[in-house]
Structure 1
């Protein structure tokens, strides 16, 4: 049984950065060709690195987000740029399926540190996830920064515990992509189907944690 996301089929990815005089300039990257895709990723990284270095070329949301990620343990600028682009840019070139086809983070938007990002990190820590493992989770599944704690993360944690996952935090650290499962959109349906086919509870837990 396999879960498949919807593919992003647009041939052009767009992102915006602020110019030296605060005017908006569009960066257009063709995603159809391998060479142009690599060039686009390189260009995006260059722009974000300039912003991290203090040059006014990137939206303040990215700069504030980068500063915050550094306080929780991120040290590599390229990794910070990748994480923030996936979390905030709906057309990020960094997000793809395992076979290289592009997908999207449906929750991607400009994030505020105090309103969006910090509550996610605080929630993970409150659930017993160590700071080092929080970095691993965010790096492994950057969209988590754009998830709502009460609407997405808390229900996920509670539901995983309800089906018999003994340590939800450990399961997420081992496989951060689990956070991509939404209880109402897909996770509950998967579990209920397995229960309907009389799959043993321990097998369901193993399947959810290791196979999806």
Structure 2
């Protein structure tokens, strides 16, 4: 099945014209399309994910489609191509509500983020839906607390892009360098939470 973002034309009803017609924003009736004898199907993965995002507080249908495309499509047209480091979501894959999305949202709730903050974080950094809680989010939270960030949840709510920093791939290296050049701990926290 072809992900909805790889379809060529998007109309105002968020129905895609091509081999498949997918309504990616939940509660919208998808109209299967037949082309060249191929029977169209509704992508239930996208519909379930879209309905879940609506259930947690998303209201904008186009925004739901954008978030899901970035989180699930490694070739998303919505990523920032002006920044080579952010040109793809390497974790993008078809996500299930139960195995992927609910654990991320549940983790944010446990960390004290409000529903509105969770929606804002996911909207600003859609790849977070494809992150593993135990392998990525928990280590990030623990590391941020270990370097002295007083309220990691507040820092993430202010700057959701922080979640794009992987502890072992880049965050630890940044902090190690700042410590090496004898940057005071409070300045390191300031840099990490405001500018990096």
Q: TM-score range by the shorter chain?
A: 0.7 to 0.9
In structure 2, what is the Cα distance between the partners aligned to 1:116 and 1:86? 14
Displacement, 1:175? Answer: 0.5
Counterpart residue number, 1:169: 153
CA deviations 1:164-197 (Å, max 9, x no partner) are 0000000001000000000000000100010000
Structure 1, gaps ≥5 residues long:
1-14, 19-25, 30-39
Aligned pair partner of 1:201 in 180, 185, 191:
185
Counterpart residue number, 1:191: 175
Q: Number of matched residues?
A: 180
Partner SS, residue 16 of structure 1 = coil
In structure 1, what is the Cα distance between the partners aligned to 2:137 and 2:190? 20
Counterpart residue number, 1:33: none
With 48-57 and 65-74 compared, the bigger mean Cα shift is at: 48-57
CA deviations 1:97-142 (Å, max 9, x no partner) are 5x47771000000001000000000000000001110000000100
**TM-score normalised by length of structure 2:** 0.84
Bigger RCO of structures 1 and 2 (CA < 8 A, at least 6 apart): 1
Tell me if the contact between 1:66 and 1:81 (Cα under 8 Å) persists in the aligned partners.
Answer: yes
Tell me if the contact between 2:71 and 2:129 (Cα under 8 Å) persists in the aligned partners.
Answer: yes
In structure 2, what is the Cα distance between the partners aligned to 1:105 and 1:41? 22
Tell me if the contact between 2:23 and 2:47 (Cα under 8 Å) persists in the aligned partners.
Answer: no
Task: Assess, with a 3 A threshold, how the Cα gap between structure 1 residues 28 and 58 changes in structure 2: closer, same or farther.
Answer: same
**TM-score normalised by length of structure 1:** 0.78
Aligned pair partner of 1:131 in 108, 111, 115:
115
Counterpart residue number, 1:64: 48
Aligned pair partner of 2:103 in 88, 96, 119:
119
Greater strand share, structure number: 1
Is 1:50 the counterpart of 2:23 in the alignment? yes
Tell me if the contact between 1:41 and 1:94 (Cα under 8 Å) persists in the aligned partners.
Answer: no
**Root mean square deviation of aligned Cα:** 2.5
Structure 2, gaps ≥5 residues long:
33-40
In structure 2, what is the Cα distance between the partners aligned to 1:42 and 1:196? 53
Partner SS, residue 116 of structure 2 = helix
In structure 1, what is the Cα distance between the partners aligned to 2:125 and 2:98? 20
Tell me if the contact between 2:75 and 2:88 (Cα under 8 Å) persists in the aligned partners.
Answer: yes
